[in-house]
């Protein structure tokens, strides 16, 4: 299938390296006919370098999802490049070191609050910031890691992801009357920069995941997850909202 996103205009957050899910989404989206704008937080030159590696160089705008001024001006700044938005990829998550790798009982509230603000509340904040540009039948997609169970080293980020899943459902209810869909994609473990922040034995975790998943799993390949995101950003799932779609090789069904 080609031209899946012909005529679509997207905001893609979270592009940091070529291994990031967001980069794969941006690349595939362009290959499928979309125009995109990338957002950058703190490392604009890095994001701009990634933007130049895409099939077509993409504009970059600054966005700190915890900064009310930047959120308030996002629509105007993106509007300088796009005359409307059909889809938004939320690929934003961060937790202080104290909140990960065995810090669940000792992490102070201010660090937990930071993790929840950045990783959970930001979905609502980004949706509201983009609303002035959202076209009818627009789609918001957020990246998730199955929060129905606990994972070694994930700690407060797991709690934040559980909140993200609930936030997605409430957003779907609130934005549905405007024709806007909101869904999450729960990926399996991938070798991204974000994954390096967890001190658990990543290689052993990946091997176990690949062994358990009925379809197997390649932690070095983000494209299957990106393709799932593209399907949700397209017009092919017009009646699907408030869902968590797993792109994890089927690991979540295994006891």
Please give the positions annotated as active site.
154, 161
Cα–Cα dist 210/250, whole Å: 10
Instruction: Say how far apart CA 87 and CA 179 lie, in whole Å.
Output: 12
**Closest by alpha carbon to 245, among 187, 190, 194?**
187
Q: Compute, in degrees rounded to 10, the torsion defined by CA atoms 138, 144, 146, 147.
A: -100
Residues 174, 25: Cα–Cα separation, whole Å? 26
Side-chain half-sphere CA neighbours of 4 within 13 A: 18
Nearest-angstrom CA–CA distance, 160 and 142 = 13
Under 8 Å between Cβ of 36 and 64: no
Give 109's DSSP letter: H
Q: Which residues contact 14 (CB under 8 A, 6 or more apart)?
A: 20, 21, 22, 39, 89, 90, 91, 92, 143
């Amino acid at each position: 299938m080609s031209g899946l996103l012909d005529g679509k205009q997207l905001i893609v957050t979270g592009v940091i390296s070529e291994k990031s899910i967001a980069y794969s989404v941006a690349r595939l989206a362009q290959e499928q006919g979309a125009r995109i704008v990338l957002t950058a937080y703190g490392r604009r030159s890095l994001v701009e370098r990634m933007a130049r590696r895409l099939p077509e160089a993409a504009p970059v705008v600054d966005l700190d999802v915890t900064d009310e001024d930047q959120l308030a001006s996002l629509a105007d700044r993106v509007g300088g490049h796009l005359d409307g938005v059909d889809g938004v990829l939320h690929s934003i998550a961060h937790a202080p070191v104290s909140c990960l790798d065995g810090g669940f009982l000792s992490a102070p509230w201010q660090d937990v609050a930071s993790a929840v603000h950045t990783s959970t509340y930001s979905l609502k904040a980004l949706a509201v910031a983009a609303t002035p540009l959202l076209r009818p039948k627009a789609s918001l997609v957020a990246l998730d890691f199955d929060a129905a169970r606990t994972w070694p080293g994930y700690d407060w980020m797991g709690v934040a992801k559980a909140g993200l899943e609930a936030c997605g459902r409430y957003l779907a209810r609130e934005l549905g009357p405007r024709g806007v869909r909101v869904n999450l994609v729960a990926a399996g473990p991938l070798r991204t920069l974000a994954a390096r922040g967890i001190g658990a034995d990543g290689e052993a975790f990946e091997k176990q995941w690949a062994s358990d998943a009925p379809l197997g799993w390649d932690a070095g390949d983000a494209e299957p997850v990106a393709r799932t995101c593209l399907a949700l950003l397209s017009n092919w799932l017009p009646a699907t909202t408030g869902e968590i779609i797993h792109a994890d090789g089927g690991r979540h069904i295994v006891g």
